[in-house]
Structure 1
């Protein structure tokens, strides 16, 4: 088995090499690279049986390797990848990239052996892995929007799914959410923050005080200065009017 290691921390790379040698003397490490640019250059000209790829490299996140290869006209890579990372938040993201496996640092021998066993098993069961760079990059660029809010009422706590929320509004220095069941809760976010963490396919910020779910809009009416007035479900105690600045974007949002 010929292996390429892409890892910018020399002690981590050396430890991985020693571990591989102890597990299987027939494993040959072709090269160790520490940057996105080195990896792109190497992969354009060479091939390994398996790549160990650190997510954070000296000149950026390793996913940029795939983007640069794609820009160079290389859309597929057949070399299986095992990602290594000290940051658990990247683990699921990396695993979705059709990689063989991912290892959290510091890599221990038992996990490394399990990954190699998985690699050998998959090599026997399936054709060479084809990873489409465009799919990988597109999946990385898609933001993970907030799905639930933890709220408190009295001595109790409750998790509210975002699809249950009709709208958010700011009043008396507080931001409150109203569910479709007409339940009201205070949230620890500003309207600006909500605009950044909620799925824009579902929620739209109509003005400085309101963030509405498209399913909560019952009727719309023309209003002064090209604005739009909304009738919401459940009915709002505050006037819900799309601001002049947001009207054009709001109409485009509805017409997607």
Structure 2
């Protein structure tokens, strides 16, 4: 099985590759891309892979943009830290939709599902229309969410309405300093950041510690009422938002405390959600 991985976080891509080799030893990684632009170019110039793992949020846009620029006949398994793209995912060649951090059993089930659908998906004559009917695909997804996401309560009605219930979020993080281990409470955290493809936590006393999680994984662990993903580089706690400035093209520029050394910009697409989160 030849596989293309589209993922802009190197650590996440490496973890997925290792997990794939554990679950599917015969898998061959034929490519790894990090952006919409690079993915489109790869797909135009290389042979069709048997399967594509596709992160949804990429550095230069959403991976759905790839389908607008190149015809994809390979089956796709979407990987994302967010659950709001489920319906959109099943309008393209999606076989499954895995929430990060990806668990081995969920990956195994997705590959089993692909084998079951192989007679439909295989061959160069594949279609870019949905692999399954949208309603059937949604029903399958919702069943998987029931089994794999205990913090979701799914209403059994024709509208497939998904309702959030009380969720459990991280209250402490373990820190390693040399040969010592200690923990910090979530109330000490100002923001999480990524730098040089590594993740760090910044506390309100202006101390910075390395963490062994990607920002995508952290986004799943944190209370969304308390923390907001400002961009690909920063997840901030509400009290860490010092000032917000209007920026060009509908974007917002954010000043953090303790001060962040680089410019923090919220995209135009996320600006309205961010202002609502702040309490506008």
What is the TM-score when the length of structure 2 is the normalising length?
Answer: 0.43
Normalising by structure 1, we get a TM-score of: 0.47
Indicate the structure with greater helix content. Answer: 1
When Rg is computed on C-alpha atoms for both structures, the one with the higher figure is 1
